[in-house]
Structure 1
Amino acid sequence: MGCGNCSNGGSGTTPAGCKNNGNCSTSGCNKLDVFDWLTGMERTASGESEFVEVRFKNTRKEIFKNSEHLSLIVGEAVTVEAPTGHDVGMVSLTGELVKFQMKKGGISQNSRDMKKIYRKAHEGDLEVYREARAMEDDAMFKARRVVRDMSVNMKISDAEYQGDRNRVTFYYIAEERVDFRELIKVLADMFRVRIEMRQIGSRQEAGRLGGIGSCGRELCCSTWLTDFRKVSTSAARYQQLSINPMKMAGQCGKLKCCLNYELDSYMAAIKDFPDHKIKLKTKKGNAFHQKSDIFKGMMWYSYEDNFSEFIPLEVDRVKEVIALNESGKTVDDLTKYSFVEDTGPEEPKFDNVVGQEDLTRFDKPKGNQRNKKRKKPQAGGNNQQRSAQQGKATPGSNPQSKEGAQNRNKKRKPNRNKGNDKGPSQKDNS
């Protein structure tokens, strides 16, 4: 976000975010941008605007008179009148809507102090303007060092050069009145231009610098809010917000302006609620107020002997009990007046088993399951068991070895040629 006429654009020559070549004044990326809801409507016969709103750096905007009857469009650079010399700015609004802005700001159309538009800015004016914008950050840091060296109780928050580079304005914030006459002399000798010191508040500083709020949107003071009203902690109490300075304070260090946005609605709704200081008298004991819900119209009470048990009551019920107490009557118990939420008819329940089963229930665990089922041998008895098993394992004791021996004997056939090797003399002698 940023362009040539926005503080976030860096040197002012190249857009920082919108990539619209520095002409994004119509796309809403500028501070205090105005939506022209009269765009497309017919204007005067000449198509010229009598008054034009011109935007300068950050939130500075002024109304100028188009005395030269120039045909101007939004986003066009113009050279305008300044107290000393001339200045360069961008056209931010034209047409009849400018008169609404003048009425809102209390500017008279016949004012003699209204400045004029000289011409459309040519290339020479724009070149000097870009050089001046590139010098602003360096000037601000130098001024801060001078303020620190001179021990002046102020904070330089921004610096702005005039379009012709003949004057520089330093915006500062200070808690007390500051005598900066010597400071102006030192700065004038340093920059060789006219020096102007302009004091602003902390909210104006936040609007000029810009930023993102805790809600995630741009700061109200940098987009549309110009009327800074007083904000007190009572606004948070009416809305039943926790008094937490870290959450209630904005980037300016003050209470957030948005605390006042819904305050009127809360104050109108809370008028129907009875005073929370009134205690409800019952036969069971006195009940004290604990909390309220403005939008639901509910109030919670608890007995003095049991503060942890809250009894919800509607506002009408509370008023009814208070009226009975004022007439000298006491109710038996507040539970008879408690609010019971109507749940309505019971709907059929359907069990949703999606996501209840484990996706890894079919996965097989790694490793050998047989080894896990084996019992671990007892310590110290391994050698004895092995020796006993070896002693019992004899050839006769194994039935499988006997069966194998019988099978081997059955398969053997007698040798018919056995005894034929003997000679005839041996047969006769036998």
Structure 2
Amino acid sequence: MTPEILEVQFKGNKKEHYFNPKNIKVKPGDYVIVEADKGIDLGCVTKIGRLVALSEIRSEPKNLIRKAGKEDLKHLEENRKKEALAFIVGREKIKKHNLNMKLVDVEYQYDQNKLTFYFTSDRRVDFRELVKDLAAKYRTRIELRQIGVRDEARRLGGLGVCGLPLCCTTFMKHFDPISTQMAKEQNLPLNTCKLTGTCGRLKCCLAFEKDFYEQSQKNFPPLDAILQTERGKAKVEKIDIFHDTVYLRYNNDEAPEPVRLDEIKYSQISDKTPA
């Protein structure tokens, strides 16, 4: 029988799945000790049971060892203080080695067997000498991990313009490609300030309703198309998929006229206005 699977969250909104072979009674919000890369780590349970079964599990889960106690949480707090100091040291070392990289975060494995430095850079970085320098100071395994700007936003967290926590810190498991075409399909103004998120890239939420817009727009004539209607030729200025309305501009009219989609009787002359 397959043991229960848990979802555990670590620093930087990193989430992993773990088996519970000992059937230890845990609930969301409990801190637990789990198997890690050549050691153990401490995280917080976020999901259990069927909620986890519905998630996408990409790798073989390691095992839950036990629930965390007061001493474990105290040790975790000490690690956080050491990480803050290591961040300052890391930035100084980067400057010393004159490397083109931005340090984002530092994370100790619970047992301090590994210290990870997360950074962003717009190019490949040779950080071998930096690793040697850091290893000599901290006497533990050093890992430098280059991440993207969207991963940076996930690690640091924050609020979106909607006022809610960033989607990448809550329910998103991976990043999908986003393009300005998605904004065009949703009739959004191509305003960079409004379309970009905290990370400086196009907002992930542009993709959430992509399928809905694609299906809905199949019922409408294309934008800028020239239609032959009962009143004469008209150009499609705008469509409103939520109210099933098409805005048509007839010759010499100052403003487009809203017409219900089911009230339009037309034949399409061309896909766009002739040049």
Match in the other structure for 2:31: 77
Q: Which amino acid aligns with 1:308?
A: E
Q: Which amino acid aligns with 1:289?
A: V
The CA deviation string for residues 177-204 of structure 1, in whole angstroms up to 9 with x for no partner, is: 2221111112212333221112222222
The CA deviation string for residues 204-234 of structure 1, in whole angstroms up to 9 with x for no partner, is: 2212211111111111111111232111111
Whichever of the two has the greater Rg, that structure is 1
Count of aligned residue pairs for this structure pair: 269
Match in the other structure for 1:312: 258
Give, in angstroms, the shift of residue 247 of structure 1: 0.5
Match in the other structure for 1:423: none
Give, in angstroms, the shift of residue 166 of structure 1: 2.9
Match in the other structure for 2:111: 164
Partners in 2 of 1:283 and 1:100 — Cα distance? 53
Tell me the C-alpha RMSD between the 2 structures: 2.9
Partners in 2 of 1:90 and 1:276 — Cα distance? 50
Q: Which amino acid aligns with 1:83?
A: D
Match of 1:263 among 200, 210, 223: 210
Distance verdict in 2 for CA 1:266–1:189, change over 3 Å: same
Task: Give the conservation status (yes or no) of the 8 Å contact 1:129–1:165.
Answer: no
Match in the other structure for 1:55: 9
Partners in 2 of 1:309 and 1:87 — Cα distance? 64
Match in the other structure for 2:221: 274
Partners in 2 of 1:286 and 1:158 — Cα distance? 60
Distance verdict in 2 for CA 1:276–1:181, change over 3 Å: same
Partners in 2 of 1:186 and 1:302 — Cα distance? 69
Match in the other structure for 2:266: 321
Distance verdict in 2 for CA 1:187–1:73, change over 3 Å: same
Task: Give the conservation status (yes or no) of the 8 Å contact 2:221–2:236.
Answer: no
Q: Which has the larger share of strand?
A: 2
The CA deviation string for residues 262-282 of structure 1, in whole angstroms up to 9 with x for no partner, is: 222222121111233432468
With normalisation by structure 2, the TM-score equals 0.84
Q: Determine whether 1:235 maps to 2:182.
A: yes
Partners in 2 of 1:76 and 1:278 — Cα distance? 59
- Bigger Cα displacement from structure 2, 250-259 vs 292-301: 292-301
Task: Give the conservation status (yes or no) of the 8 Å contact 1:168–1:196.
Answer: yes
Partners in 1 of 2:108 and 2:145 — Cα distance? 13
Partners in 2 of 1:123 and 1:293 — Cα distance? 57
Distance verdict in 2 for CA 1:279–1:145, change over 3 Å: same
Distance verdict in 2 for CA 1:307–1:233, change over 3 Å: farther
* 3-state SS of 2:218 partner: helix
Match in the other structure for 1:91: 45
Match in the other structure for 2:159: 212
Match in the other structure for 2:58: 106
Partners in 2 of 1:285 and 1:53 — Cα distance? 62
Partners in 2 of 1:164 and 1:127 — Cα distance? 13
Match in the other structure for 1:133: 80
* 3-state SS of 1:246 partner: helix
Partners in 2 of 1:81 and 1:222 — Cα distance? 23
Q: Note the residue ranges of structure 2 that are not aligned, 5 or more in a row.
A: 271-275
Give, in angstroms, the shift of residue 251 of structure 1: 0.1
With normalisation by structure 1, the TM-score equals 0.56
Partners in 2 of 1:210 and 1:148 — Cα distance? 26
Q: Which amino acid aligns with 2:57?
A: G
Partners in 1 of 2:237 and 2:54 — Cα distance? 49
The structure with higher relative contact order (CA 8 Å, sep 6+) is 2
Task: Give the conservation status (yes or no) of the 8 Å contact 1:129–1:164.
Answer: no
Q: Which amino acid aligns with 2:138?
A: F
* 3-state SS of 1:116 partner: strand
Match of 2:243 among 288, 296, 319: 296
Q: Which amino acid aligns with 1:310?
A: P
Give, in angstroms, the shift of residue 283 of structure 1: 11
Identity among equivalent pairs (%): 41
Distance verdict in 2 for CA 1:139–1:307, change over 3 Å: farther
